[in-house]
């Protein structure tokens, strides 16, 4: 949900964290997404497999955000399921909040 909102309202955000994230819909229509993220840092994490968000959806979402000038860090974790892990939290803290 986070990615869908910020991508439909693309501006320079302080940062975006999408744990188990991807754009929404049966199909992604790139014409729905306009604007410029102006180098907003974005984290997109997911699992392979994830019962709700297929990896191709994550990859397509990443491509759209990059085309809109987001600085995207994408991480796909093997067999994690639809959850959040410590590496994701640490990555977001470092990328978006500049904390180690």
Q: Which residues touch 34 (CB under 8 Å, ≥6 apart)? A: 10, 68
Question: pLDDT band at residue 84, thresholds of 50, 70 and 90?
Answer: very high
8-67 pLDDT, tens digit per residue, is 999 999 999 999 999 998 899 999 999 999 999 999 999 999 999 999 999 999 999 999
- Six-digit token string for 86: 């410590």
Question: pLDDT band at residue 100, thresholds of 50, 70 and 90?
Answer: low
Residue of 62, 91, 54 lying closest to 3 (CA atoms)? 62
Question: Which H/E stretch holds residue 48?
Answer: strand 41-48
According to DSSP, the β-strands at 41-48 and 71-78 are parallel
């Amino acid at each position: 949900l986070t990615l869908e909102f910020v991508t439909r309202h693309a501006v320079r955000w302080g940062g975006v964290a999408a744990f188990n994230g991807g754009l929404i819909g049966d199909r992604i229509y790139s014409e729905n997404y306009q604007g410029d993220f102006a180098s907003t840092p974005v984290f997109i994490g997911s699992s392979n497999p994830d019962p709700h968000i297929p990896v191709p959806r994550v990859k397509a979402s990443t491509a759209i955000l990059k085309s809109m000038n987001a600085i995207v860090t994408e991480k796909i974790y093997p067999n994690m399921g639809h959850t959040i892990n410590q590496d994701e939290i640490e990555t977001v803290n470092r990328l978006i909040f500049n904390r180690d």
